[in-house]
Structure 1
Amino acid sequence: MTTHTQPDQKWLDELRATLTTDFEAQTVRLTQLTADTGDPGEAHTQSAMIAATRQSLDQISGALRRIAEGRYGICEKCSAPIPRERLEVLPHARFCVPCQQKQH
């Protein structure tokens, strides 16, 4: 048995399932948004929704990749564990709070 500071496996498995479902839903949404010709007056809003959906897909796929690679829950900047509470609120978090604050 390996000992590390990563979240427990059951929680990770549940999170992976939730993120996979979210990814599939966002993929469907993106397909619908890009196929919908809609009202030309709404093009700006649709463009913003497409961008937000793509960003969400990137964040979800990044979180799934980090889970698969065993790097989930570890700050990409300082390598400190990211608190589970933060991950529950922001499952795609890549940085601990101090490092995230330095990013801005």
Structure 2
Amino acid sequence: MSTDMYDQQWLTELESTLTHEYETQTARLTQLTADTGDPAEAHTNAALIIAARQSIEQIAGALRRLAAGRYGDCEKCGTAIPRERLEILPHARFCVPCQQKQNG
């Protein structure tokens, strides 16, 4: 349980930041999926919708891991993901070595 490795204040602030970002991305997705009737925007909007959905999925996953007390555990090998990595990429699911293996 890697959450024991991180101080509670940092985890609380992280959860608040992730929750705010989740709400922001959800509102953005709602705006993007509104039909503007402009076919010229369809391709751009499709790409933005995919990016927003991916962001929401990643944030939701991080929030679930926080709630379950598994935040910061590599999903592949189980080792703790360094805080520095999580500060840069709060939704990181893998430690750097496992992420590199995943990417091939």
Q: Shorter-normalised TM-score: what interval?
A: over 0.9
Matching residue's letter, 2:21: D
- Alpha-carbon distance, 1:87 to partner: 0.1
CA distance in 2, matches of 1:4, 1:40: 47
CA distance in 2, matches of 1:49, 1:84: 29
Tell me what 2:92 maps to. 93
- Alpha-carbon distance, 1:98 to partner: 0.1
CA distance in 2, matches of 1:90, 1:76: 15
SS at match of 2:46: helix
Alignment of 1:9-88 (within 5 A): 9-88=8-87
TM-score w.r.t. structure 2 length?
0.93
TM-score w.r.t. structure 1 length?
0.93
Cα contact 1:74–1:80 (8 A) shared by 2: yes
Matching residue's letter, 2:22: F
Q: Percent identity?
A: 70
CA distance in 1, matches of 2:18, 2:3: 23
- Alpha-carbon distance, 1:37 to partner: 1.6
Residues 54-103 of structure 1, C-alpha deviation per residue, up to 9 Å, x if partnerless?
A: 00000000000000000000100000000000000000000000000000
Structure 1: which 5+ runs fail to align? none
Structure 2: which 5+ runs fail to align? none
Q: Which moved more, 1:4-13 or 1:44-53?
A: 4-13
SS at match of 2:81: coil
